[in-house]
Structure 1
Amino acid sequence: MIFSINTKINKKNLLLKTICAYLIITPVWARNDRLHCFVLATVNKKPITTLDVWARFLFLPKMHQVFIPQSAFSQYAPSIFRQILMERLQLSLALEYKVEILSQQLDEMYQVWLKDLKKILPSIILLPEEIKIAKDQLKANLSWESYIEGRYGAEFFVSDQEVAMYKKNWNQRPPSLKYIRYGEIIIFYKSRPEEAFKEMENIKTMLDQGAPFTQVAMQFSQSNSKKNSGIIEWIPESALDPDLLKIFFQAPEGQILGPHILTNLRAVVCVVLLGRKTQGELKQVCPSDTEIKTILRQERKRVRIQQEMDKLLNGENYEILQGAEKYLSNSITE
Structure 2
Amino acid sequence: MKSLVTGPAARSAALAAALIAAGSPPAALAQQAPAAQPAQQQPAAPAQTAPEAPRGLSESVAAVVNDDIISTYDLAQRMRLLIATSGVQPTEQTLPQFQREALISLVDEHLQFQELRRVEKEQKIEIVATDEEVDEEIAAMARENNMSREQFLGFLGSRGIGVDTLRQQIRAQMSWTRWIRGRYGSRLRVGDDQISAAQARLAAAAAKPQYQISEVLIDANRVGGMQQAMQGAQQLVAQMQQGAPFPAVARQFSALPTAAAGGDAGWISQGEMPAEVEQVLEGMRPGQLSQPIPVKDGVYILYLRDKRAGGGATLVNLKQVAVAVPQGGDEAAARAKLEAIRPKITSCDNLEQAAQGVEGVVAGDLGEAEVADLAPQFRDAAERLQVGQVSEPIRTGAGLHLVAVCGRRSAGEAQMDRDQIENRLFSQQLSMIARRYMRDLRNSATIETR
Query: Cα deviations across residues 279-320 of structure 1 (Å, max 9, x unaligned)?
Result: 7446655515x444433322321221222122122122x412
**Pairs within 5 Å for 1:294-305:** 294-305=423-434
Match of 1:115 among 118, 143, 165: 143
Match of 1:93 among 115, 134, 138: 115
Q: CA deviation at 1:165?
A: 3.0
Q: Distance in 2 between matches of 1:268 and 1:209?
A: 20
Which residue is 2:166 aligned to?
134
- After the TM superposition, which of the residue ranges 243-252 and 68-77 deviates more from structure 2? 68-77
Q: Distance in 2 between matches of 1:106 and 1:45?
A: 26
Q: Distance in 2 between matches of 1:300 and 1:246?
A: 24
Q: CA deviation at 1:242?
A: 0.7
Q: Distance in 1 between matches of 2:62 and 2:113?
A: 18
Q: Distance in 2 between matches of 1:79 and 1:40?
A: 13
Match of 1:143 among 175, 178, 181: 175
Moved over 6 A (4+): none
Q: Residues 78 and 199 of structure 1 are in contact (CA less than 8 Å); yes or no, is this contact kept in structure 2?
A: no
2:381 paired with 1:252: no
Q: Distance in 1 between matches of 2:195 and 2:263?
A: 30
Q: Distance in 2 between matches of 1:64 and 1:157?
A: 35
Q: Distance in 2 between matches of 1:168 and 1:216?
A: 31
AA paired with 1:271?
A: L
Q: CA deviation at 1:163?
A: 7.1
Q: Residues 206 and 412 of structure 2 are in contact (CA less than 8 Å); yes or no, is this contact kept in structure 1?
A: no
Q: TM-score, normalised to structure 2's length? A: 0.56
Q: CA deviation at 1:210?
A: 0.9
Q: CA deviation at 1:240?
A: 0.8
Which residue is 1:214 aligned to?
247
Query: Cα deviations across residues 183-215 of structure 1 (Å, max 9, x unaligned)?
Result: 122221237411222222332333233111101
CA RMSD across the alignment: 3.3
**Pairs within 5 Å for 1:201-280:** 201-262=234-295, 264=296, 266-277=297-308, 278=310, 280=410
The structure-2 alpha-carbon separation of the partners of 1:164 and 1:232, relative to structure 1 and needing over 3 Å to count, comes to closer
Match of 1:104 among 125, 132, 153: 132
Consecutive unaligned residues of structure 2, counting only runs of 5 or more, are 1-17, 19-50, 121-126, 311-408
Q: CA deviation at 1:79?
A: 2.0
Which residue is 1:29 aligned to?
53
Q: Residues 59 and 130 of structure 1 are in contact (CA less than 8 Å); yes or no, is this contact kept in structure 2?
A: no
Q: Residues 53 and 77 of structure 1 are in contact (CA less than 8 Å); yes or no, is this contact kept in structure 2?
A: yes
Larger Rg: 2
Q: Distance in 1 between matches of 2:294 and 2:199?
A: 35
Q: Distance in 2 between matches of 1:109 and 1:244?
A: 35
- After the TM superposition, which of the residue ranges 276-285 and 233-242 deviates more from structure 2? 276-285
Q: CA deviation at 1:177?
A: 3.6
Consecutive unaligned residues of structure 1, counting only runs of 5 or more, are 1-22, 325-334
Size of the alignment, in residue pairs? 288
Q: Residues 167 and 286 of structure 1 are in contact (CA less than 8 Å); yes or no, is this contact kept in structure 2?
A: no
Instruction: Point out which structure has higher relative CO (alpha carbons under 8 A, 6+ apart).
Output: 1
AA paired with 2:128?
A: E
Q: Distance in 1 between matches of 2:299 and 2:416?
A: 33
- After the TM superposition, which of the residue ranges 166-175 and 238-247 deviates more from structure 2? 166-175
The structure-2 alpha-carbon separation of the partners of 1:181 and 1:46, relative to structure 1 and needing over 3 Å to count, comes to same
Aligned-residue identity in percent: 20
AA paired with 1:138?
A: I
Which residue is 1:157 aligned to?
189
AA paired with 2:177?
A: E
Q: Residues 163 and 292 of structure 1 are in contact (CA less than 8 Å); yes or no, is this contact kept in structure 2?
A: no
Q: CA deviation at 1:75?
A: 4.7
**Pairs within 5 Å for 1:70-85:** 73-85=95-107
Query: Cα deviations across residues 250-300 of structure 1 (Å, max 9, x unaligned)?
Result: 1122222222321x2x20222211122347446655515x44443332232
2:428 paired with 1:320: no
**Secondary structure of residue in 1 paired with 2:291:** strand
Q: Distance in 2 between matches of 1:171 and 1:187?
A: 27
